[in-house]
A and B are shown apart, each in its own frame.
Chain A
Amino acid sequence: MPKIVTDVGCPYCGASCDDLEILVSDDGKKILEVYNACAIGNEVFHHASSPDRLKRPRLRQPDGTYQEISYDEAVDYTAKVLLKAKKPLIYGFGSTNCEAMSAVGRVAEKSGAVLDNCASICHGPSFLAIFDNGYPSCTLGEVKNRADVVVFWGCNPMHAHPRHTSRYSIFPRGFFTEKGQRQRKMISIDPRETETAKLADIHLMVQQGHDYELFDAFRTVLRGHDIPDEVAGIRKEAILEAAGIMKNARFGMIFFGMGCTHTDGRNHNVDIAISLTRDLNTVAKYSIMAMRGHYNIAGPGQVWSWQFGFPYCIDLTKGTHAHMNPGETSSIDLAMRDEVDAFINIGTDAGAHFPIDAVKHLRKHPFITIDPNICMASEISDLHIPVAVVGVEEAGVVYRMDNVPIQFKKVVDPPEGVISDEQLFDRVYLRICELTETEPTWIPAKGHAKAPVTAGQ
């Protein structure tokens, strides 16, 4: 009898839905049906069961083709690349668990690498703004139960976080929002009339790249001053109407996305969004949240801030301290200045999602991809190491976009012999210790599974 696994977490977007139900075959090996997921989540689970999954690492040969090698050989290769490089870059982590993010910390520190995650090309500017201006945020549960005005600024959850509006922000009925969507006013600010904008009560079609001016106009109006007849392509009356709705909220929520961080202004757009939230809190109760992209891209921010004091762009090459300075220690800038001499792509696809010039620079040096699937990065690598799919074949902790940790389940076994990201990094760490004739330092939490393997304790 096929069995249903309930309360499964979805390893796709930052909404990190944890109410999926998966129908698994008799032998517990194949995924038959996926319930409750969006179209993308559905594809993630079905793709994991695909028969063309790779089961062994592949090493690029002199003739350009790939040849299968053992995990031991792949671990040895990776350890030697990291040790030989003066400034290796380990980048990715949007799609893996916190256990792997913690494990890579040991590898990066030991080998003197730069450690960076997808926030570097995504919500990195939001971090910069948050450092400067604070982050008056809340959980998605509070949004569901309290929010009666919801603003989506430069984000399109109907496409990027397909269940966000139905699970948290617009449609659900909550404790103080028992009428659901009917009780909520929704404002969308976007240069296109996106599906999210179509759903909204008010859509302000801001002139692309002029978000800062519009934020500023809202702040000016809320402080009782006059604004020009048109700001950032929006008529004054429309701004006044939206500002009126915003200030009459019982609990207002501002969600912001790549429309703010990918364009001119970057961190300044987020900075003024936070200032607007602060202004709104003088007349109403307001909160703000970054629409994080991957299901666990909030994870490295949490794990590495705890380990190294910084969420991303962490330069550990100095050997004495961690150093973070986006623009200098960020992946794209390092690549474009040709400052890194080895690259590990893990749990993301830099081959598809970096500007092509950055990819060309990185490919001049040893290039390793750690990913369950064939992707653009895997197809240009020197070494591709397949791993178990987190959330499908490997359990683990993930942080949702509101920084709430969720324990994700394992649904089926990985293909025979395929190891997890965490196991892989632990083996690379041990190999680096062997090669450098040093003792591994695990410092595991008391009772943690890693405690018994600690050498010399």
Chain B
Amino acid sequence: MTEKIVLNMITQRSIEEGVAMEKGKTTPEYFEACSVVEMNPEDMKALGIWRNTNVRVTSEVGSVIVKAIEPTQYCPPGLAHIRQGVWANQVVPPRTQSTGVPQYSGFPVTIEPVPSEKRKGALELVQGAVGLWRGGK
């Protein structure tokens, strides 16, 4: 058991994300589909957490609280996946290697358990980042 673990992060599509996104980004479905990090059970064990524990994911640009779940599509140890969307983009580095495309996949993140902290909603994260979040619903 350790307090932190460093994993390689990728952020890509999933059908759960696609369906929820079309339903609406302010819906509970979108929240549940995208505010999760998929990681191998071995890595969870190394971190000393059970599945469905909230964790803080920190990259070179920022951090976000998401729920650690067992991979719905197998992820080898060392690799983590947050589905594309609002939560993923809190930690995606905007560096583009002069191509225009941010580093959506393949960047190091530190993951630490924060079982007592809550995940933020999509609106709170995005409006909060630009000073428009008024709280409430």
Instruction: Write the residues of chain A forming the contact surface with B, with a CB cutoff of 8 angstroms.
Output: 12-13, 38-40, 43-44, 47, 64, 120-122, 124-125, 128, 156, 158-160, 162, 191-195, 197, 205, 208-209, 258-259, 261-264, 266-267, 312-313, 326-327, 330-333, 335-336, 349, 351-360, 363, 373-376, 379-380
Contact = CB atoms under 8 A, between A and B. Distances in A.
How large, as a class, is the contact surface on chain B? 35 or more
B132 to A, nearest CB: 6
Contacts of A356: 61-62, 89-90, 92, 125-126, 129
Contacts of A120: 100-101
Contacts of B123: 376, 379
Contact of A352 (B75, B76, B97, B122): B122
Interface string B106-126: 100000000000000011011
A209 B22 contact: no
B134 interface: yes
16 contacts: A121-B104, A124-B99, A125-B101, A128-B99, A192-B79, A192-B81, A258-B12, A258-B104, A261-B101, A312-B100, A330-B99, A332-B96, A332-B102, A352-B89, A376-B122, A376-B126
A283 B89 CA distance: 43
B61 A374 contact: no
A43 B19 contact: yes
B93 interface: yes
A333 B103 CA distance: 12
B122 A333 contact: no
Contacts of B134: 64
Contacts of A122: 101
Given A262-B101, A332-B94, A353-B89, A159 B15 contact: yes
A122 B11 CA distance: 12
B23 A191 contact: no
Contact of B22 (A40, A192, A195, A354): A40
Max count, chain A CB within 10 A of own CB: residue among B14, B24, B102: B102
Contacts of A357: 61-62, 94
Closest 10 CB pairs of A and B: A330-B100, A327-B98, A193-B74, A43-B22, A262-B104, A263-B106, A355-B94, A209-B106, A363-B130, A326-B100
B45 interface: no
B25 interface: yes
Given A156-B73, A376-B123, 20 more contacts: A38-B15, A40-B22, A43-B22, A47-B22, A121-B102, A205-B76, A208-B106, A258-B12, A262-B104, A264-B106, A326-B98, A333-B96, A352-B25, A353-B89, A356-B90, A357-B62, A358-B102, A373-B24, A375-B25, A379-B123
Interface of B: 8, 10-15, 18-19, 21-26, 61-62, 71, 73-76, 79, 81, 84-86, 89-90, 92-94, 96-106, 122-123, 125-127, 129-130, 132, 134
Contacts of A12: 18, 22
Q: Majority SS of interface residues in chain B?
A: loop
Contacts of B21: 352
Contact of B25 (A64, A261, A349): A349
A262 B11 CA distance: 9
Given A43-B19, A208-B106, A355-B94, A267 B99 contact: yes
A43 B18 CA distance: 9
A195 B26 CA distance: 27
Nearest to A40: B18
Contacts of B23: 43, 47
Contacts of A13: 18
Given A208-B8, A266-B97, A360 B18 contact: no
A349 B12 CA distance: 16
A355 B92 contact: yes
A197 B73 CA distance: 9
A244 B132 CA distance: 57
B31 to A, nearest CB: 12
A358 B71 contact: no
A338 to B, nearest CB: 12
B89 A354 contact: yes
Nearest to B131: A363
Contacts of A194: 73
A352 B100 contact: no
Nearest to B85: A352
Contacts of A376: 25, 86, 122-123, 126
Nearest to B95: A336
Contact of A192 (B62, B73, B94, B98): B73
A192 B71 contact: yes
A95 to B, nearest CB: 10
B13 A156 contact: yes
B94 A336 contact: yes
Contact of A159 (B13, B25, B89): B13
Contacts of A262: 10-12, 101-106
Contacts of B79: 191-192, 208
B68 to A, nearest CB: 16
A264 B105 CA distance: 8
A449 B106 CA distance: 49
A265 to B, nearest CB: 8
A363 B132 CA distance: 10
Given A192-B73, A261-B101, A352 B22 contact: no
Given A47-B23, A352-B25, A40 B98 contact: no
A373 B105 CA distance: 28
B99 A358 contact: no
